[in-house]
Amino acid sequence: MFAINPFAELSASIPPAIMQTFVVVMILLVVGGTLFDIVHKKSATYFFNNWEKVKAKGTRQVSGGEMVSLAIQTAAVEGLTSGEFCNPQRRISHLLTMYGFLAYVIATAIMVFAYPTPAPQAPAILPALWTIGALMVCLGGYWFWFFIRADVASEGNSPFRLVRADLFIVSLLASVTLGLIWAYVQTTGNTGWANVLLALYLLATTVLFGSIPWSKFSHMFFKPAAAFQKRVEQANGSRRNLPAPAETPKIFGSTHQQPRNF
């Protein structure tokens, strides 16, 4: 699996043009779903209106150079290292899932569009990156699902309890897991099971990218903007009308201690 391009093997039964069309459709679903989500939930309107309120309530003016510095800090801390998570396990889980998904998606796009057939052969790094990325998503995602979720770790609910908010993580794990199983079964030569798993893989992937208006998929685009706005609020003194932070663990408890309320 680490050295075999699963999409090149698939080209024996499905033309590369069809695979490429499917990927393009998934990209369009992401763009369209995100735009629909922005319009339907009025996210952009909220951010712009709140931005004006932040500037109006600020106690000091933030310079252009400081804005650039805040943007770099946001990208480095919240964007690249998920520094907004206080729980180190949650942070590691998120990083595994995020970077695994990026590696998995990028490798998929390159192999489907640049190396969709056995010749020319894809560089060995691409199928390895695809497999490792998928495994990282599974490791981070299942770790979060069974052990870290607030309703499981803190509220004692069953890890098999499903609610609408779980649509993104469930469809992501289903897509990546089925993709890994399909790629493995395809190498065994079992055509029947490979076709069944391929159909399930495509279905789960379509649900993942087609359900953006109803899932938390688009939050990955909104989180950096919200994190940047929060830094600006702290820099200009508005702080969303909240008091200055205080170190009072003896009164309110510690953020480093996992709550157990069951």
Q: What percent of the chain has pLDDT over 90?
A: 51
What pLDDT, on a 0 to 100 scale, did the predictor assign at position 249? 55
Query: Where do the structural domains in the chain lie, given as residue ranges?
Result: 6-233
Overall average pLDDT of the 188-198 stretch: 94
d(CA 236, CA 41): 27
Which position has the higher pLDDT, 252 or 183?
A: 183
* Rounded CA separation 17/132 (Å): 26
Per-residue pLDDT, averaged over 182-211, amounts to 96
Average pLDDT of the chain is 87
What the block records as the tokens of 121 is 């052969």
What phi and psi values does residue 248 have, to the nearest 5 degrees?
Answer: -130, 55
Note the pTM of the prediction, 2 decimals.
0.84
In sequence order, which residues have a C-beta less than 8 Å from that of residue 112 and are 6 or more positions away? 7, 16, 19, 20, 23
User: Tens digit of pLDDT for each residue in 85-120?
Assistant: 888 898 999 999 999 999 999 999 999 999 999 999
Least confidently predicted of 112-116, 125-129, 250-254: 250-254
Band of pLDDT at residue 205, cut at 50, 70 and 90: very high
Token reading at 162: 């499903």
Question: Which tens digit of pLDDT belongs to each residue from 137-170?
Answer: 999 999 999 988 876 766 667 778 888 888 999 9
Cβ distance 148 to 142 under 8 Å? no
Is pLDDT of 216 > 90?
Answer: no
- Nearest in space to 54 (alpha carbons), one of 233, 243, 242, 248: 233
DSSP H helices in the chain: 6-10, 16-41, 43-57, 64-74, 88-114, 125-143, 150-153, 167-188, 191-210, 219-236, 249-252
pLDDT at 207: 96
Residue 46 has pLDDT above 70, yes or no: yes
